Each structure stands twice: as structure tokens, then as C-alpha cells.
Chains A and B, each alone.
Chain A
């Protein structure tokens, strides 16, 4: 029996909740590559991911979901190249109360859109914070003027299992729709 793996990349800026998102649902201890942050990053987060986070969910003996969390810093390196070649879809987490990260999120989207054609979901985190921007405004800041041209946006709480599962359901359903369209 051939084994099937669905690979989803979880990306976003520093502190957006990527590692937490994966930890919340992974059945294995997330392979943690967090290191103590230095310089200005330390003001946002005490640790930051320097390589990849990896989490896993086994669906059946031959079927599993793999989640890869990218580093939060801005450099697009060879690891991105590997990731986007192997990924089936990606989730971009954007912190609603840190407008200084919208630029980087927009760059990430441009990078992904230019180099790959895989489904995306944009998860807005920290929506309960006082300074959080509305999802509609964040969509504009990320360059989406028309809803029709934009990937789905949803509020996500990376600490809540239900919220993370809901995000995964949404993106897997996108993949299903694409398969149905291509098969039709």
C-alpha cells in the first residue's frame, strides 16, 4: 500500500503564531528549532524559529498530514525553494495588531504567487488585541482589492485546537475543489 502525505507550509512573520499553530495539533512533539532571539526580534518574541518546525497528524496507516513552519525572518533562502516545490498548500499567518509585519506578509504572498501555484489560506491571528486591524483592512494592506481575486481569509487562534482544525479543513477543501475542477 503506497503511503500518501499531504504537506502544508505554515508561514508568516515573527510572532504570528506559526510554531503554536503546529504545536496545537501535532501528534508528535514539534521538532523545535527555536533559538533565543537577539536584537530587535527579542522585543517581539523571546525565541524565534531559525530553521523549520515540523508537526504531523496520522489519518490512517498510510495517510498523514505534515505541517512545516517556516522561519519568521524575511530572507527567502534555498529552504523556501525546497518547501514550495514539495508543498500542496500553504497557510500565511498575519498578526492583526502588528501593522509593521504587513509588508513582510505581502512580500511572502508575492513570493509564493510568483514561484508556485498552490492554494493558500490567510489566517489572521491576535484579532482580539486592542490595536488589531479589521480583516478587510489587512486584506487591503496585503494587496487584495477584490474579494474574488483573494484567497480565503479567516481569523485563527493558534492556541485553540478547534480554530486550527477549522483552518486546515478550509484549505483541504480548497484542494478538493481544485481536484474536482481539474478532474471535471
Chain B
């Protein structure tokens, strides 16, 4: 079984979270679907490699020459020198590092090459229609690697801060009635901006996103988007709240139930009203289920 889906079902942002938290390695293939309304439109492919949840390389073709093309485009070395290093490169060391070891590229130039790869990755977050497949058995392409890496969630955070079109993520945003809850004991290690820190202060679980927006005097969508970013980096979780509008039902109900339960706001960890069951009952039940399984 492989890990594959479409971006409308499982967004790239959520996928990066899964890769980061699962410390996945392998190659993620992304294919954007052509726009049927545009005759010239074609499917586009992109490939991202991960090691233990960190992005190590990205390119739009599989010919192993993406990195050397970038070096050549920038005129950072003589074409003959690039060709020689490429042809004699060790298969066990990232090509970028080999350029640096031979003093053809500086550390700063390697940083710029990796930043350029990440920029291409960040653009993928704008994809509205596309499919993906993660091959965890794929080997790492040393010829596309600079030797640098960055956590997938850090890339997500940067990409979402700059994202213009949130349409594909609309269904993933927390509900405006939901609260947000801090799920980490420690101060975040990831770099947050001032607005995200403000959101962090409201992560008690009891205050709805609507109320946070009102208190911060910000549009609700901006709060939803910031909360979503913090959810993706593993700092917050959405806490859905009970809605209590019995008028929205289209089936008959006993109004006394609604008056008893429907208007009560949910409280954290309500005391269970389930009567205690005896251990002999549980033993009987397991015996009964085993005998019929």
C-alpha cells in the first residue's frame, strides 16, 4: 500500500505534517492536473525527497541534473568544471557538498541553491487540483542534494504565511465555533511570528475562534488560518464545541430532551454519568463475546 491521494481530499500542508511527525523518508511525487478549460494546459510533475521528515531535495524532473542546472544558470562555475564534478561525484555524498569541498561553491551559495529548491516547494501549496504519492522506499538522489535540509513543517509554516489562495484548504480550517487547545507542555521551538504568539495565548480550548477574532479585532478567517498553521506544526488542536440549535433538525424529537441538554454549553471533561459496571459483568461480557467470536 502506498500513501497517495488528491489535494482536495488531503492537503499538501496536512501531508507535510504527517511526513514530519512520522519522520518519513522517501520521494513525494506531485502531479498537478491540467485545467480542462485551458487547451494548452498540461499536467506538471514535481518531486520532493525527505529524510526523517526533513526536506533534502526538490526538483521538477527526474534526470538528476536539477541542481547542476541551477549552478550553471547562476554562472557560479565554469561549465567544464561543473561537468567534471558531476561526472566524478561520489554516489554517497550530496553533490552540493562535493562542490563545496572542492571550493567551487561557498556555504552561502549552497544556502541559496537550497532556498531556490524550497521556493519551488512553497509554490506547490497554491495547487488547487492535483494528486500525490509518497514512495517511502525511494533512494535519496545525491545529485539533487545540497547537503542542507529543513523540517517539512517549517516549510509549511513559511508557505502558509505567504499563501494567497486558501480555497483548497477551506475544509481543513478549524470551525469558527471551535476552540483551540495547546497540546504541548513546552514553549514552542519553532519560530512563530507576533500574531501567532498572540493566538497561542488563547489556546485554552474554551474560547471560540469567533471570540478570539472579536477580542483581537481581526477578521475571523485570519484567526482560522493562523490557528491552522499552529495546528500543522503540532502546537494546537481544534476543540469542536457542541452546537445547540434544535431548530436545525429535520426529524422529530422530544423537546424536553432539548431543554434539558441542548442549551448547556459543553464543559471540559464532564464527569461521566455512566453508572459504574461491576468487574464480574465485564468478565462475563468478555467470556460471552469470546464464545461467539
Residues of A near any B CB (own CB < 8 A): 4-7, 33, 50-51, 57, 59-60, 63, 65, 75-78, 80-82, 84-88, 98-100, 102-103, 107-108, 110-111, 114-118, 131-134, 136-137, 140-141, 143, 145, 161-162, 165-166, 168-169, 172-173, 175-176, 179-180, 183
Our pick among A76, A82, A161 for the contact of B240 (Cβ within 8 Å) is: A76
Q: Which residue of B lies closest to A142 (CB)?
A: B18
Count chain B residues whose beta carbon lies closer than 8 angstroms to a beta carbon of A.
56
CB of B119 within 8 Å of the partner chain:
no
With A85-B270, A114-B239 known to touch, is A175 a contact of B282 (CB < 8 Å)?
yes
Question: From residue B237, how far is it (CB to closest CB) to chain A in Å?
Answer: 5
Interface residues of A, dominant DSSP: helix
Question: From residue A154, how far is it (CB to closest CB) to chain B in Å?
Answer: 13
Q: Which residue of A lies closest to B181 (CB)?
A: A114
Is there contact, CB below 8 Å, between B277 and A4? yes
Is there contact, CB below 8 Å, between A81 and B261? yes
Question: What separation, in Å, do the CA atoms of A175 and B278 have in the docked complex?
Answer: 11
Question: From residue A156, how far is it (CB to closest CB) to chain B in Å?
Answer: 13
CB of B86 within 8 Å of the partner chain:
no
Our pick among A6, A78, A140 for the contact of B242 (Cβ within 8 Å) is: A78
Our pick among A6, A78, A108 for the contact of B277 (Cβ within 8 Å) is: A6
Question: From residue B113, how far is it (CB to closest CB) to chain A in Å?
Answer: 30
Is there contact, CB below 8 Å, between A117 and B269? yes
Is there contact, CB below 8 Å, between B282 and A78? no
Is there contact, CB below 8 Å, between A6 and B285? yes
Q: In chain B, residues 243-268, which have Cβ atoms closer than 8 Å to a Cβ of chain A?
A: 243-246, 250-251, 257-258, 261-262, 264, 266-268
Q: Which residue of A lies closest to B183 (CB)?
A: A143
Is there contact, CB below 8 Å, between A111 and B270? no
Is there contact, CB below 8 Å, between B239 and A111? yes
Question: From residue A55, how far is it (CB to closest CB) to chain B in Å?
Answer: 14
Question: From residue A119, how far is it (CB to closest CB) to chain B in Å?
Answer: 11
CB of B3 within 8 Å of the partner chain:
yes
Our pick among B181, B240, B286 for the contact of A173 (Cβ within 8 Å) is: B286
Question: What separation, in Å, do the CA atoms of A115 and B266 have in the docked complex?
Answer: 7
Question: What separation, in Å, do the CA atoms of A108 and B284 have in the docked complex?
Answer: 30
Question: What separation, in Å, do the CA atoms of A165 and B292 have in the docked complex?
Answer: 8
With A76-B242, A82-B257, A165-B293 known to touch, is A103 a contact of B171 (CB < 8 Å)?
yes
A80: B residues at CB distance < 8 A: 242
CB of B205 within 8 Å of the partner chain:
yes
Question: From residue B272, how far is it (CB to closest CB) to chain A in Å?
Answer: 6
Our pick among B205, B234, B237, B273 for the contact of A86 (Cβ within 8 Å) is: B273
With A80-B242, A100-B10 known to touch, is A179 a contact of B279 (CB < 8 Å)?
yes
Our pick among A102, A103, A115, A161 for the contact of B268 (Cβ within 8 Å) is: A115
A60: B residues at CB distance < 8 A: 284
With A76-B242, A103-B172 known to touch, is A63 a contact of B284 (CB < 8 Å)?
yes
Question: From residue A74, how far is it (CB to closest CB) to chain B in Å?
Answer: 8
Question: What separation, in Å, do the CA atoms of A103 and B289 have in the docked complex?
Answer: 32
Our pick among B8, B181, B274, B282 for the contact of A85 (Cβ within 8 Å) is: B274
Is there contact, CB below 8 Å, between B274 and A111? no
Q: Which residue of A lies closest to B240 (CB)?
A: A111
Is there contact, CB below 8 Å, between A76 and B243? yes
16 contacts between A and B (CB under 8 A): A4-B275, A4-B281, A7-B274, A59-B284, A59-B285, A63-B285, A75-B243, A80-B242, A81-B264, A85-B273, A85-B274, A103-B172, A111-B239, A116-B270, A161-B292, A175-B282
Question: From residue A115, how far is it (CB to closest CB) to chain B in Å?
Answer: 5
Question: What separation, in Å, do the CA atoms of A169 and B285 have in the docked complex?
Answer: 8
Is there contact, CB below 8 Å, between B285 and A137? no
Is there contact, CB below 8 Å, between A179 and B282? yes
Is there contact, CB below 8 Å, between B242 and A134? no
Given contacts A59-B285, A145-B22, A175-B282, 20 further A-B contacts (CB under 8 A): A4-B277, A4-B281, A6-B277, A33-B251, A51-B251, A57-B288, A75-B243, A76-B241, A76-B243, A77-B262, A100-B8, A108-B240, A111-B239, A114-B268, A115-B270, A131-B4, A140-B22, A162-B293, A172-B286, A176-B279
